[in-house]
Amino acid sequence: MGMIEVLLFGCFLTCVSADGVADVVLSCSLVEEGVGLGGMGGGAPFTRTPATLALRDVAVASDESLETLTPFVPPSNPDPDLLIFEAKVSSPAIPNADVLLHADCNEREVMCEISSYSPRGSQESSDPAYFMVSLSVEGVEFSTVLILQTVTVEKDQSTLVQNKLGLPLSQSGTLPTEVIFLVFSHIKSVSAPLRGDVLVNCGFKQLETPLSQEVGIEWRLQHRGKGRKVFEMKTWLDEAQGNTVVHEERKGSSMDAAQVVADGNVSLSLNNLKVMDEGTYICTVSLGPFHAQQVIQLHIIQPPHVSLSEEKLVLKSAQTLSCHCNKYYPLDAQMEWLYLSPSDTEPKLFPNQGSLSSHRQHGDGTFSLSSYLTVPPTVSPGTKITCRVSHIALDTPFSVSVLVESPVTDSYWWVLGFLIITVLFFYQVMR
């Protein structure tokens, strides 16, 4: 009962020991393919069963306040119906795992999905069993996939078997596992300017006793239903072994083989970005029979170049003013017309916002758009007319303005002409 309360009233609970490690307990779902679920019934393709993941020995920063952390209590009466995965995560450590510690206090939801995993070439229901855990935190740049391997349980008469999984449980009713491999990214999405460079982040870690010395990394790009390979590398973590094989499918893409070997850093660097580089990047790391992925969005953003058709405006009759937004990306741009008359302090929106051209797309994928405003002759001189453009690539809206001038310049010419004639007249007279 105690366990149930604990699970209902805390998204996770933590317990810190003296050496700066904590237990993080997460509410997860065990996701299974809906095989044998009424077959023809067309029910949900997946079933979800509530599960708990207790991550033991998560490294905690030393300045962590320990009082706020509540200890994880294993169930007092082990229950073979409960799904409690217990995993030691001290080695390999989950990078940035402290965001999991703070997610609850910051009211951020932790997404945690567990599914059964079969390493390549393995038999179904073999011993040990494997699980894949996908972890991410809402609104935080944290995403990790863990591969868990069950740890052998000393069996005796009292050993319980988990009802759903058919796996033996520990004395405290948990399913003991260890993290053997993980793939993570520090980012979920990244934006970069056209013709700029970007590093799409991805990394992996494995047990101290390596699962395999050979590592394969594949980067794919998925966009609008189409997929293509961007970059591929095969290398050996043990330097004594063979060479590194690289396939650079996209010109100007690279990965640092030294960083792959030293840090498991498989980040992809892309140079001279084009609109067609935009999309969903899938980083797949294969280590022996195991492989896991991360998905990172790349957005290309390019701010518009904004200009007005007129540098000054003298109204004798209605006049059309055009505002041009050139070579921006992505498509969505908002254009507004405002006016500030000499007697006002705040600009107002024109009641009639004029008309928009259709979008023009350039060879490099960028867009242009124009807005045309008919300025009535009733607009008084001294009024400032502004075209304001909002676009995702601009931190704040960009404005260009023109001042309505009185036709007074005409009388200046008249006065000047009069003066010249007068001077010429006197010049003649003096001779």
Provide, rounded to whole angstroms, the least separation between the CB of residue 201 and ligand NAG. 5
The answer to whether the beta carbons of residues 129 and 178 sit under 8 Å apart is no
Q: Given the complex with ligand NAG, which of 122 and 254 has the nearer CB atom? A: 254
- Closer CB to ligand NAG, residue 92 or residue 347? 92
Distance between CA 273 and CA 253 in Å, rounded? 10
Nearer residue to ligand NAG within complex by CB, 81 or 263:
263
Phi, psi for 157 (deg, rounded to 5): -60, -30
Residue of this chain nearest to ligand NAG (CB atom): 203
The reply on whether position 267 binds ligand NAG by CB under 6 A is yes
Asked if 263 touches ligand NAG (CB under 6 A), the answer is: yes
- Kind plus residue range of the DSSP H or E element containing 401: strand 398-405
Residue 265 binding ligand NAG, by CB under 6 A: yes
Contact between 323 and 307 (Cβ < 8 Å)? yes
* Smallest separation, CB 254 to ligand NAG (Å): 12
Q: Which of residues 151-180 bind ligand NAG (CB under 6 A)?
A: none
Which span sits near ligand NAG by CB under 6 A: 65-73, 209-217, 263-271, 412-420? 263-271
Instruction: Report if residue 203 touches ligand NAG, rule: CB under 6 A.
Output: yes
Q: Which of residues 242-261 bind ligand NAG (CB under 6 A)?
A: 259
Nearer to ligand NAG, 201 or 370 (CB): 201
197 binds ligand NAG (CB under 6 A): no
CA distances, 269 to each of 231, 252, 298 (Å)? 10, 8, 12
**Beta carbon of residue 202, minimum distance to ligand NAG (angstroms, whole number):** 6
Residue 8 CA from chain centroid, whole number: 30
Q: Which of 388, 385, 370, 279 is nearest to 327 (CA)?
A: 370
| Most distant CA pair in the chain, distance | 134
- Beta carbon of residue 143, minimum distance to ligand NAG (angstroms, whole number): 11
Residue number, 85 or 184, with CB nearest to ligand NAG: 184
By CB under 6 A, tell whether 347 contacts ligand NAG: no
Q: How far apart are the first and last CA of the chain?
A: 119
Q: Cα Rg for the chain, rounded, in angstroms?
A: 33
Contact call for residue 188 and ligand NAG (CB under 6 A): no
Query: Contact at 8 Å (CB) between 169 and 197?
Result: no
User: CA 217, CA 220: separation in Å to the nearest integer?
Assistant: 10
What lies within 8 Å, CB to CB, of 142 at 6+ separation is 96, 99, 100, 135, 136, 186
CA distance 390 to 337: 12
Segment contacting ligand NAG by CB under 6 A, of 116-124, 152-160, 196-204, 317-325:
196-204
Contacting residues toward ligand NAG, per CB under 6 A: 186, 201-203, 259, 263, 265, 267
